[in-house]
């Protein structure tokens, strides 16, 4: 019986039909015997039917079994940068200090973290120059340096790219094979150097998960992988570090965090997941509301702190816990854009979602799922309005929604689709062939 019909009948039985019956079996038994027997049968049948109808309001499938274990210690709040030394001290006396292009030397983060680590008696070996889309070649340099200098731990100070490459180095140092074999699913980790992080750009959630993404620039393949050995031992989340993040990076980070939440929300195996759904919907709504606030007022620490924690919660394993199998199609599509054209990760995801959601709306249950999301996040009705609301939000914060927005022509579209088709089997999504992905990318508006 359709769910809506069962609810209607159940309500009618509750509000009308049962009111016309005696209030309890005692009232029936005390009445005229033949009539009492008749009403008793009707009464019992009505109650049985009501129970059946009420129970049909809830699907019979159960929440999937899962194990949730997140060992990362989070130190959150203003003025917490100076705690990195104390957090790192138990793991040794010599650390590889990894950072990006040098912004931390302009905003005070470098000075504070280095002072804290040195005061804890930790010798630092600096390794800078991590790109926004970290590369295998640079990670290999870090692995060689860490091995040669016999460092005991890794301290990553930066955004997701820095921490992701730090994880590659932490794994590669102890591997008896090339680190790319790990990303290609050809090598199982048996350990890794201890890793600690100081987050300076919120987006990827890597500060509280075991995931890492790396690009092989020789083959133009960008792959992500996760392993329990790669959870940071501790991560410092000080929202004051975000005040120097520019508007475009703030936008890309917001889209990245939202996409993390939507991947399992859209592709999950289970169809009845109220806790997970509301977890996702609440955080997505919060991010869409505060992204522009951060852009307009970079020094709004309430907005920065809210987003910092939201982005961490978006990709720490809680959202998909219990939903069964799920996949990451938009990251698959976006990674190929970044591998080929060095597209900022968040920008590649806003484009991917712009084309993928219309396709998803045509799949079984997709239209209803999108409509629910639109009501919860944007207060709009229907799948089409939900898709347009997301596209409008992307554009409002300066994120692209088409390949043309980032200067990629028809030839580039075909090239991206071919790259996706090449990588999709490694992602466990072989159905994302080149022709199929061409169709997705042509839906972008």
- Over the stretch 16-56, which tens digit does the pLDDT of each residue have? 443 444 444 444 444 456 665 665 565 566 665 555 444 44
Instruction: Specify the fold of 73-241.
Output: Rossmann fold (3.40.50)
Where along the chain do the CATH 3.40.50.1970 domains lie? 73-241
Q: What is the 3-state secondary structure (H, E, C) of 6-62?
A: HHHHHHHHHHHHHHHCCCCHHHHHCCCHHHHHHHHHHHHHHHHHHHHHHHCCCCCCC
Counting beta carbons within 10 angstroms of the beta carbon of residue 55, is it exposed (0 to 12), middle (13 to 18) or buried (19 or more)? exposed
pLDDT at residue 62, as a whole number? 78
Angle between helices 345-361 and 383-396 (to 10 degrees): 170
pLDDT of 36 reads: 55
**CATH 1.20.1090.10 spans which residues of the chain?**
246-442
Q: Which long-range contacts (CB under 8 A, 24 or more apart) does 375-381 make?
A: 376/278, 376/281, 376/282, 376/284, 376/285, 377/281, 377/284, 377/285, 377/288, 378/285, 378/288
Q: What is the CATH number of domain 246-442?
A: 1.20.1090.10
The H or E element that residue 331 is part of is helix 329-341
CA 423, distance to chain mean position in Å, is 20
10 Å Cβ neighbour count for 64? Answer: 15
Helix, strand or coil, per DSSP, at residue 382: coil
Closest of 229, 377, 208 to residue 308, by C-alpha: 208
- CA separation for the pair 341, 347 (Å, rounded): 12
Cα(314)–Cα(209) distance, integer angstroms: 10
Which residue ranges in the chain fall short of pLDDT 50?
1-31, 52-57
Which residues share a beta bridge with 223? 214
Q: What CA–CA distance (Å, rounded) separates 415 from 392?
A: 27
CA dist list (Å): 275 to 281, 306, 320: 10, 21, 10
C-beta separation of 252 from 347 below 8 A: yes
* Token representation of residue 11: 């309500």
């Amino acid at each position: 019986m359709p769910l809506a019909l069962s609810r209607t009948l159940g309500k009618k039985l509750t509000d009308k039909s049962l009111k016309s019956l005696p209030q309890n079996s005692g009232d029936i038994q005390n009445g005229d015997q033949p009539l009492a027997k008749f009403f008793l049968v009707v009464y019992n049948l009505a109650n049985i039917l009501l129970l059946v109808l009420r129970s049909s309001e809830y699907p019979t499938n159960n929440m999937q079994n899962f194990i949730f274990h997140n060992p990362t210690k989070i130190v959150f709040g203003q003025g917490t940068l100076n705690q990195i030394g104390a957090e790192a001290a138990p793991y040794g006396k010599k650390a590889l200090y990894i950072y990006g292009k040098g912004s931390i030397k302009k905003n005070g983060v470098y000075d504070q973290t280095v002072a804290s680590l040195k005061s804890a008696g930790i010798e630092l070996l600096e390794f800078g120059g991590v790109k926004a889309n970290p590369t295998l070649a640079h990670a290999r340099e870090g692995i060689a340096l860490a091995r040669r200098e016999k460092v005991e731990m890794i301290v990553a100070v930066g955004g997701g790219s820095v921490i992701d490459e730090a994880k590659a180095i932490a794994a590669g140092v102890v591997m008896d094979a090339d680190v790319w074999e790990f990303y290609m699913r050809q090598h199982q980790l048996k350990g890794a150097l201890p890793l600690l992080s100081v987050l300076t750009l919120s987006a990827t959630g890597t500060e509280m998960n075991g995931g890492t993404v790396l690009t092989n620039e020789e083959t133009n393949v960008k792959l992500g992988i996760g392993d329990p050995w790669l959870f940071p031992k501790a991560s410092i989340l000080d929202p004051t570090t975000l005040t120097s993040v520019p508007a475009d990076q703030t936008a890309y980070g917001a889209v990245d965090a939202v996409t993390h939440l939507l991947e399992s929300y859209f592709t999950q195996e289970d169809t009845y997941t109220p806790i997970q759904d509301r977890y996702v919907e609440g955080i997505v709504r919060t991010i869409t509301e505060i992204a522009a606030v951060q852009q307009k007022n970079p020094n709004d620490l309430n907005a920065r702190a809210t987003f910092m924690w939201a982005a961490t919660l978006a990709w720490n394993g809680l959202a998909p816990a219990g939903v069964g199998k799920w996949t990451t199609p938009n990251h698959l599509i976006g990674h190929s854009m970044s591998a080929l054209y060095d597209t900022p990760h968040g920008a590649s995801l806003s484009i991917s979602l712009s084309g993928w959601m219309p396709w998803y709306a045509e799949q079984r249950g997709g239209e209803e799922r999108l409509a629910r999301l639109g009501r919860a996040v944007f207060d709009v009705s229907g799948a089409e309005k939900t898709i347009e609301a997301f596209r409008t939000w992307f554009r409002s914060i300066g994120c692209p929604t088409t390949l043309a927005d980032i200067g990629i022509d028809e030839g580039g579209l075909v090239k991206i689709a071919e790259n996706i088709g090449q990588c999709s089997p490694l992602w466990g999504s072989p159905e994302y062939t080149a022709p199929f992905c061409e169709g997705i990318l042509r839906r972008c508006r």
